[in-house]
Structure 1
Amino acid sequence: MNWLQQSNYSHELHNVTTADGYQLQLQRLPRVGARPVLLLHGLLGSALSWLCLGAEKSLGFQLHRRHYDVWLANLRGSAPHGRHHLELTDVMLEFWRYSFHEHGAYDLPAIIDHIVEHTKRGSGSAEQLPQQELETQQILLIGHSQAFNAFLVLCALQPRYQQHIALMQALAPLTQLHEQVRFDARQVRNIMKFVKTRQKAKRFELFPVGEMRRMCNKKREQCEFYAKTLAGSALNNKKLLEIFNYDYLLQGGSARELQHLQQLWKSGDFIAYDYGPIENLQVYQSIEAMGYNLSHITVPIILYFGETDAIATPEGVHSIYARMLNSVRSVRRIGARKFNHFDFLIASEVKTLVNDKLIELMEQFLAGKLSYVIE
């Protein structure tokens, strides 16, 4: 990866194949024997989300300097490292039939299995290792935005994977959305109209690399509105559209991802993808979409929110806490008067406002000294 080579960081490329045939590439900043940390990107992202501000500010590099074994995931659909399949190509409709459900049901199990296999010590399987060694091998998970949804899907559908995760730190998490976001029904309809227009034109990928920048050059005023409302960067208002110039930050995704999030917003619950009554009967044995059972999630969780995040609002993040009282160990507000959704990745002060804080709390947790604080 050019970014890693330019920063003079040694790295490894790891290939993973999911149970449904997607071929994903992971990047690793290796420290053999150290605690593994897995970084999960959100909608439209890729592994580059954690590297794009360079060696001094980006979380991936910062964790490696703190002597963690850093793994960077590329979930299906992210360009170019999540664009391969055993049978499909990315010009086929079938390739793009996924949302965060498939990220959690297929991508995460394959990625975690691979990391566990490459980091276990001694002989024998992970199940045969002493408890203390198992705990040392457990993955520290950090995810942005809908990466938290994928984590919840994994834990709900395959709870055995929880034994491999020591802690989940969720930056700007979102689940239910209904009456918890700072945009209205008209704006949602406009976004979904845009999605449906693309699908009718057989364009199933959402914002291929470079497309957002080209669109914003033509419709600057509209882009400025959505950038200010939905994304940020709140700390860089003079360069509000800069986010859309990050070709390495916006790496594409599936239109179904937005459709699934719209269904969460409409239903007011955390549900699987709704195919409609007839197909739901085939998939879920019910005319309604399946609800995820979150009651058995045991992985400790820390939630982070920004004061002016329009998507993962303070109200929305606190509703996650209220629903997952047994798992959430802390809820933390980013210490800036304005802090929006993508600021967790690209804000000029991201190192001091976000990265230093989550590393500090992570290490307090590992030392058994994490305070129960709800902000």
Structure 2
Amino acid sequence: MILLLKLCSIVFVLKLLLPRVCHCQLLFSSNVDPDFSRTPCELIESRKFICEEHFVTTDDGYILALHHIINPVYKRLGKKLIKPLVLQHGLLGSSTHFLTNSNGGFAADWTNETVSVDLTVEGRNLAFLLANIGYDVWMPNSRGNKYSKNHTTLDPNQDSSFWQISFDEMISYDCPAVIDYVLSKTGFDHLGWIGHSQGSLIMFGMLAERPEYTDKVKPFVALAPIAHVEHIKSPIRYITLIPGAMRLVKTLGGELSLPSFLLDILSEKVCGRRIVRQVCGSALFLLCGYDPDQFNYTRTPVYYSHAMGGTSAWNLLHFGQNILNRNFLKFDYGFFGNIFRYGSLYPPAYNLEAIQSENIVLIRSNNDPFADSQDVQILKASLKHPHIDFLVQDQKFNHLDFIWAKNVYEQVYGPMLGILERFN
């Protein structure tokens, strides 16, 4: 918290000083990509697709925003879509994570042989790639992020109970609500789910707890698959070692995000400066794995502006608890809270061995500090039914490369398209 306050102070001073120093303005000249400030629908419409924003109310009253991409070419020609696909973002993310990797991805008639598409650029934004091929793409935003901060009765600015949530509630309420809503809107009896990071964790949890959804999710593609986190190598691990830090986070709770003005400063005024972009990119490597060759530094402001979708402090705390507990457990409310909630002293584990699905695809890499190889092996051993296991060949491929790498089509999305065809 002290470090965050220091960072805020430094950035505030930069905001005041940089515009007033003409020489610095010349040195740090920037040309910020228009994607920097676009909303999800603006990003979608800028690529000539049609955007629909839907709102789904969960059984416990949270209102989730879903962004739906409609391919105008398929709509005009009356072509049948392959199937609905849900793209679920990870921790701190939002639907924009699947829309911002390149300035490409425009709606195109792929049936016209005269259309030439460079997939190494056009294929970097997963949502646009899938929509162009003929999938019906839906992108939910998890409760508590900046697009899903609504509730039928609770005010996130007034009611602290709004923020007393973690991925447990995403598993119990958000996943089923999204699946049922999309199926009801599309008329299909099943859909595909592509989850990145936490977006995979909540599906593992739901399939373990709700076996009746097994036949509704075909396939489940886990990008950077996460369930167990005991071997996580990100600096997030060291927060759990600070005396009293976990207790303080639980007591304070609330929203985990950065103020919009601070994100704007970091994205445009700081990281938008040509001379600083590489420094900002390197900061992400500290958290998510080192792979400078595949990081597009010219889009650093875009990545920073869309990186922090927000979540609850308790959600991050839940990850910390499972690092310490060395298991995939439900939220630990403490001695009395656990007795009240679970009827036991300790939170129960998600029983991954209960997963019945044979339609699971793991896509993983060896340079991922969040989805650590040892943790993935524990996950694989827990899955008692056959599944597909795909290892990314690029040995430097990291956690955020699954959404932001320059070679993501070659390493992940291209092979994944072939895997998806097996389930159509």
Residues 119-177 of structure 1 show CA distances to partners (whole Å, capped at 9, x for unaligned) of 226xxxxxxxxxxxxxxx31111000011221122222222122211111101112222
1:248 correspondence with 2:248 = no
Partner of 1:270: 328
Which residue of 186, 194, 205 corresponds with 2:256?
A: 205
Select 1:227's aligned residue among 252, 266, 284.
284
Residues 82 and 135 in structure 2, CA contact (< 8 A), matched pair in contact too: yes
Q: In structure 2, what residue type is equivalent to 1:227?
A: L
Q: Is the 8 A contact 2:166 2:312 kept in 1?
A: yes
Corresponding residue number in structure 1 for 2:206: 154
Q: CA deviation at 1:67?
A: 0.6
Matches for 1:163-174 after TM superposition, within 5 Å:
163-174=215-226
From the superposition, tell whether residues 22 and 176 of structure 1 become closer, same or farther in structure 2 (CA, over 3 Å). Answer: same
Structure 2 counterpart of 1:42, from 65, 87, 90:
90
Deviation, 1:62, is 0.4
Q: Which structure 2 residue ranges, 5 or more long, are not aligned? A: 1-40, 75-79, 106-121, 272-276
8 Å contact 1:169–1:302 — kept in the other structure?
yes
Contact kept, 8 Å, 2:322 with 2:328, in 1: the verdict is yes
Instruction: Specify the alignment match of 1:357 in structure 2.
Output: 415
* Letter matched to residue 69 of structure 1: D
Task: Supply the AA of the counterpart residue of 1:147.
Answer: G
Counterpart contact for 1:156–1:292, Cα < 8 Å: yes
Q: Secondary structure at the match of 2:346?
A: coil
Query: Does residue 1:144 correspond to 2:210, yes or no?
Result: no
Is the Cα–Cα contact under 8 Å of residues 146 and 174 in structure 1 kept in the other structure? yes
Q: Is the 8 A contact 1:93 1:204 kept in 2?
A: no
- Mapped partners of 2:330, 2:246: distance in 1: 22
Q: Structure 1's 211 and 191: CA in aligned 2 closer, same or farther, altered over 3 A?
A: farther
Deviation of 1:47 after TM superposition, in Å, equals: 0.9
TM-score normalised by the chain length of structure 1: 0.83
Matches within 5 A, 1:34-183: 34-53=82-101, 54=103, 55=105, 56=122, 57-80=124-147, 82-91=148-157, 92-120=159-187, 137-179=189-231, 181=233
Q: Is the 8 A contact 1:208 1:253 kept in 2?
A: no
* Contact 1:181 1:316 survives alignment (8 Å): no
Paired residues, what number? 348
Q: Does the 8 A contact of 2:296 with 2:406 survive in 1?
A: no
* 3-state SS in 1 of match to 2:171: helix
1:338 paired with 2:396, answer yes
Structure 1 partner of 2:363: 304
Root-mean-square deviation (CA), in Å?
Answer: 3.2
The answer for unaligned runs of 5 or more in structure 1 is 122-136, 367-375
Alignment identity in percent? Answer: 28
**CA distance in structure 2 between the aligned counterparts of 1:120 and 1:8, rounded to whole angstroms:** 25
Question: Within 1, Cα distance between the matches of 2:246 and 2:261?
Answer: 17
- More moved, 287-296 vs 34-43: 287-296
Q: Check conservation: 2:355, 2:384, Cα contact below 8 A.
A: no
Structure-2 separation of matches of 1:29 and 1:185: 36
Q: How far 1:207 moved relative to its partner? A: 3.4
Contact 1:233 1:240 in 2 (8 A): no
Residue 17 of structure 1 is matched in structure 2 by 57
Equivalents in 1 of 2:60, 2:369: separation in Å? 34
Contact kept, 8 Å, 1:149 with 1:174, in 2: the verdict is: yes
| 8 Å CA contact retained: 2:144, 2:255 | no
Matched residues in 2 for 1:13 and 1:195: separation? Answer: 38
Q: Secondary structure at the match of 1:170?
A: strand
| Alignment-mate amino acid for residue 42 of structure 1 | G
Separation (CA, whole Å) in 2 of partners of 1:355 and 1:224: 23
Distance in 2 (CA, whole Å) between partners of 1:191 and 1:40 is 34
TM-score (norm 2): 0.74
CA distance in 2, matches of 1:243, 1:284: 44
> Contact 1:233–1:346 at 8 Å: present in 2 too?
no
Q: Report the alpha carbon displacement of residue 345 of structure 1 after superposing the two structures with TM.
A: 0.7
Task: Give the drift of 1:22.
Answer: 0.7
Relative to 1, partners in 2 of residues 1:86 and 1:332: Cα closer, same or farther, differing over 3 Å? Answer: same
2:15 matched residue in structure 1: none
Contact 1:183 1:310 in 2 (8 A): no
